[in-house]
Amino acid sequence: MSQGEPVEGEVERFWHEARRHARLETMPGYFGPDAIGSVVPPTWAFGDDPDADALLALVLAGTKTAMTSARDDYVGEEQLPERGTMSILLDSAGHPRALVATTSVTVVPFDEVDEAHARAEGEGDGTLAFWRASHERHLTDHDPLGRGFRPDMPVVLEHFELLHPAPQSRATFRAMFGR
């Protein structure tokens, strides 16, 4: 199993618990399965980044409510995220840890990202200067089309809401980070 690949069976069990906890099951069972109960949301992890679990911990703590990716990452078959889309976040070992829902998506030039978005990402000291430096490095290192970093390159700003953490996630977070 590669880093971030879902552990067999755990995602379905997590989804069953998460949709109940997040009150996503609105119809009584005698109506039969509804679409939300039938389709497990896509899973993903914060990449192969060595800090992937630290980023996940920020989500679980409620500190990280946004993320940024290059618009070029969506060239080809992958579509931009959409408001209302749910996802299951995995830790680096492939265990499901959180159910999130996208609340907004915008595409702006890198140099037009504002302080509020940098703060919502919850990383480092939360300043725009930190955000710009770390994201310029990341976008330079992960350049799918080989165009290189440009201050005016389009980036996708995605905001999300934590709907349900895995029950053990908060305890794990506290154990790992003492919070």
pLDDT reported for residue 170:
44
Domain range annotation of the chain: 10-177
Nearest to 172, CA basis, from 88, 87, 93, 66: 93
Average of per-residue pLDDT values in the chain: 83
Task: Kindly report, residue by residue over 126-178, the tens digit of the pLDDT.
Answer: 999 999 999 999 899 888 778 889 999 999 999 999 999 965 444 444 444 44
Q: How far apart are CA 105 and CA 174, in angstroms?
A: 30
Q: How confident is the model at residue 78 (pLDDT cuts 50, 70, 90)?
A: confident
> In the prediction, which pLDDT does 71 show?
93
Domain 10-177 has CATH 3.10.400.10: yes
pLDDT of 39 reads: 83
| Digit-coded pLDDT (tens) for 90-129 | 998 889 999 999 999 999 999 999 999 999 999 999 999 9
Number of H helices and E strands in the chain, helices first, is 6, 5
